[in-house]
Chains A and B, each alone.
Chain A
């Protein structure tokens, strides 16, 4: 299955897909040292986002979140790529600065059609982007 979307940060990445149905606040919600979700109210509490193709609707919370994304990259525990329904500035800036491929506005709702644990490849090139799901659970 291939899902096309809007490419915001160029690059390519391969990895396991991790789907969150609710928004993520990186500041206070993700531990920059371990790459784990530490927001106790979040459905993915305790899960690691390191190396994953992380799919979530949009970012929320403090704009310091951009620096948290940068910290994750510096500590080697950043997501391999991010797919949003709609990216807002916190995520866009964080991904541009950290060099994490970013796609939004997917043609199908990825939260409905994707499942955590599937493997995929995200390719972002000159404004065009797609997520190819390689292995179904």
Chain B
């Protein structure tokens, strides 16, 4: 790999042994991926910070980094942790787990990370279009590449952490224009109306990820409501769960590319869980936006307390800005958690046996954790909240 003089100097230890080691890892990964050089990145977002996922080895790795003189060199944010940092006792989290989770967060703070603790950094961080960034959370990576015209690969937790320190990433994959061209077309002509009527945005997202695998999909003839920010958030999260692709194209010509024209059974049969009305309702994968919090608050103000247990997950930054709506939700008996999410927290300790989710991404990850998961469409929100009485 071609290195600049500055990079050579860092590798030679001119700016300290610790920084040299960090860059060495990034260069190794770049060589494995046959990157020609490194590129400067202007923002980082790291995943893999839940103690439930990374364990003592992850804790030690992050603490060791923080005990050095290394700090992040660019604005950098973090994904949800394994618990709400204020209300963890209410979640049934044990003292030992909480202490270790707080140690991870303390070390990340010391390294200079902003404690956003959300998987939706794209709703809060202002980054100019066209920027190269280092993001690790799959739904955020898809949103960055597909909607915000940012350039990132699915960097992976520890790599993005090291890239945040050096401010550089290997130049390959989705960072290069030539790899952002569509490789197949998925045409929703035959089911456009059904998608719109049943609000199947997460479902078609999951299908797209399954079909696309490593190729960039160009999707066509979808309902325009798909591009509403909350719908596209659910859609892209599902793409990221079922596939390895990091970019979806919504506009353009497919030319002679291979075409798929699914019927509704193709979409349903790809899903990781069946549609259901049973279970504890979990929402917020990805984290609910301010608009979605307002929407739910309006529902409970009009219709009252849900008949079922409802738990929602969102970003801490909304605790203040959406205060009134969050109070309304809490009064209606809805459990609101910040800093964490249904995928990285321990649902068993929260007394959840059968999750009922509106997110195909959550359905996939919770199924793989062994839960018997049901899926619902947001079109049916009143029915799943209140039964047939509404």
B residues 1-43 touching A (CB-CB < 8 Å): 24-25, 28-29, 31-33
B residues 123-162 touching A (CB-CB < 8 Å): 136, 154-159
Residues of A within 8 A of B154 (CB): 63
Q: How many Å from the CB of A122 to the closest CB on chain B? A: 16
Residues of B within 8 A of A27 (CB): 53
Q: How many Å from the CB of A36 to the closest CB on chain B? A: 16
* Bitwise interface map of A from 92 to 130 toward B, beta carbon under 8 Å scored 1, else 0: 110011000000100000000000000000000000000
Enumerate 18 A-B pairs (CB-CB under 8 Å) in ascending A order: A8-B32, A63-B155, A64-B47, A66-B157, A67-B48, A67-B54, A70-B58, A70-B61, A71-B55, A73-B57, A74-B60, A88-B32, A89-B155, A89-B159, A90-B156, A93-B29, A96-B25, A97-B25
* Bitwise interface map of B from 159 to 173 toward A, beta carbon under 8 Å scored 1, else 0: 100000000000000
Task: Using C-beta atoms within 8 Å of the partner chain, give the interface range for chain B.
Answer: 20 to 34
Kindly count the residue-residue contacts between A and B in the assembled complex, taking CB atoms under 8 Å apart. Answer: 75
* Distance in angstroms between the alpha carbons of A67 and B344 in the assembled complex: 15
B158–A63 touching, CB < 8 Å: yes
Q: How many Å from the CB of B47 to the closest CB on chain A? A: 7
CB contact between B25 and one of A63, A64, A93 (< 8 Å): that residue: A93
* Bitwise interface map of A from 59 to 83 toward B, beta carbon under 8 Å scored 1, else 0: 0000110111011011100000000
* Distance in angstroms between the alpha carbons of A61 and B154 in the assembled complex: 12
> Residue of B at shortest CB range from A127?
B31
State whether the Cβ of A9 lies closer than 8 Å to any Cβ in chain B. yes
State whether the Cβ of B368 lies closer than 8 Å to any Cβ in chain A. yes
A87–B32 touching, CB < 8 Å: yes
Q: How many Å from the CB of A34 to the closest CB on chain B? A: 14
> Residue of B at shortest CB range from A69?
B57
A67–B32 touching, CB < 8 Å: no
